[in-house]
Structure 1
């Protein structure tokens, strides 16, 4: 297999795949209904991620069309230098080689993550969850048609239909070269991959995102952002799980009650720390350990803090390193918060729901990394590359 396909070939495959998704739309949805019928788990978030409807297919097609129109991320010059001895030295972006994507319940990942990795010049290994097997196999068959129609070997996109023990064996002793692994899913999946993998892993981390309502917040804005962050989509890592209210906010109890009432109106279970529980009569949290939890459910915890510094410390202690937002009209306070909160994305007066490659102008994402190496936050096309040094000489020796 050639190391890197030409950019014209890669774009042609992506465009053909987009056309095939449109052509096979009804069959994809029918196949997905089999997976939904077989799903017996009680995980609301997973079931929502499992569903493939017209909106999801539209999103898959759009992501492929956008990818096909974007500049080639491979071969971009990042550094240029001419040595004193005349050697010309440059550093260019390069494909990783083979990327293994391990994911749960989301058939759209088979298209979107696969597409980003393929556009970046990589061979793709896909290991989806058993709950989405029929949907994934159907979509992979379309990948193979798109490749074949462009006279490209189907080995560029391969589906690993492995159970847990087979996956563990492959991670520990791969039967083919794997250069990078990206797990997308819950903490159990991520920990499993990190424990057994023998090559680099980019951790697509958990959420557990915070909104801090400072004493100078626009309260209508804050309420709207809390409701949006919690209820617009439960099943995503950029959803909101925790709210901190500044106890220096004038009449904070009335605002807290307003937030609780609005959330309950959206069927959200609200828990509070001692002060919130007393003020609004919601159940009090049983342990501070709950501040570490990502819910992916109709559930939220609200607490109070006595200062901006305390809010920053609490977020840095408990959050998953994903996203945090401050609500305030004070730009200096916002800047201090944003510089000191240790998350991949920090917001001022906006919902954490925007932490997403498409929303950040990346044209989609492979994952959202909460690691600090090699890329933090949404990983788009531009980041799914490594680099390589090119040195041109005329017989120089050292």
Structure 2
């Protein structure tokens, strides 16, 4: 049995990978869209390149449902970070290739490889670290979110700074090298004894089967939560590709300064995650998910959509405030879902899956929701819709989607008694 101090050390080192992963998710957002636009790429193409990362993650997550091996989770967790880091450095060098279809194809390929690495990191890291403190799932998940948010906070400003300091490739070299080095410390510092996964019964091993996976992902409650999380998480992807071009067009803010204006979104995520984590462990995950997550996101996007008709909202101060509230609401929609997946699944007739596998299934499903939401936000809302209908109409569509899942998930969780558990 690993000591508490060793578990805390392992948790801290694991969270460091989530910090750098959050950094990797956002450092390019302040300059990549505008720099690619200078090369003649459309917003749709830029959004699709960004989404290739998450599309590969989506496919890889589905495969992880069937091939997961608890004893390999630490290795895959660290390996995933190395893959993302190497891919990041490679992606930064593609700018030297001749522009055209080959350049676009290589961008897609590199982002796909990075997406597979990210899937290993998220799908294996969450259950591995949750197993160290199984009674505090909400708090541990909030630490994941806080760590990733802390990285995201640093990402856009750091990306802008490095871009101004050394040009396009320097940010990719710096972030990629850090992400390659950190996992070695994480692997060495992790407890070598993992009781939750070493003492799996024969019956629980049988749960890792096609029937067990299909039973989980087809459960009505799991699908309901997954739909709501996917829609609200799409705001992450939407702002990744749409925010910098919008503020450049509307407020004449260039790539070297754009990163600082992402801070309200990421700081809000970091600030509220620990608070939400405590309430999730106390049984309020359903209320946080449906009300603070889905409904509040819908309200904020409605406000953004009607900004042109309300002069006092058409300024950077109001935009930053709304952006911060959306950061809080999107966190509220994603943070409780690992716990909610387990609760809604157990509330039905399908209760045979062991706790070990249920945590793994829930973690993988949460990654599926995240990657699907990012794809929807980057390619659909921030790419195609923004390209053809503009920023405000894209916000209106996002508001309609969030409003729908707010009502749908709220009714379901209320019927099941999972809105506020005692």
Q: Normalising by structure 2, what TM-score?
A: 0.23
| Higher Rg of the two aligned structures | 1
Q: Which has the higher strand share?
A: 1
Q: Normalising by structure 1, what TM-score?
A: 0.24
Structure with the larger RCO, 1 or 2 (CA within 8 Å, 6+ apart): 2
